[in-house]
Amino acid sequence: MTQNVFIGLAAFLLAFWFVFKKKASGEKPRGREIWFRFPKFVIGFVVASLVVSLLLAEPTAKALTGITGSIRGWWFTMAFLCIGLDTRFKDLLAMGRGKPAVAFLIAQAFNIGWTLLIAYLLFGGVLFKVPNF
């Protein structure tokens, strides 16, 4: 869940970085290009989260998530499987002398470390007392 919470921020920051990265042609980028590069599914994700969290009564939200629970895991798995099927590591290594592949590996290492740290702080008894069951 920690990774999912930050996906919108990460997508925005990546879109921002790629838009304002210095271009070889010296052409000045327009801020409007952020909108074109930004993955629009993030907006739907945020809106759906806000609706379920803030606008639906708790019993209704629980009923809704109960109904969709069996299929959610499959759709989530299929989405990431399809992303993985589209990844061509050979092309990443060939591009820019392998810089995209190195960036991918660094980002994954950072993501794993960050996720482990957050999980440890939240569930390891550091920030909150671990409940006794």
% pLDDT > 90, the chain: 3
The residue among 94 and 28 whose pLDDT is bigger is 94
> Following DSSP, what letter does each residue of 55-123 receive, concatenated?
IS-HHHHHHHHHHHHHHHHHHHHHHHHHHHHH--HHHHHHGGGGHHHHHHHHHHHHHHHHHHHHHHHHH
* pTM beyond cutoff 0.75: no
Maximum pairwise Cα distance, the chain: 62
Confidence band for 117, pLDDT divided at 50, 70 and 90: very high
CB 68 within 8 A of CB 48: no
Of residues 40, 20, 44, the one with CA closest to residue 30: 20
Q: Tokens 């989260």 sit at which residue?
A: 49
pLDDT at 122 over 80: yes
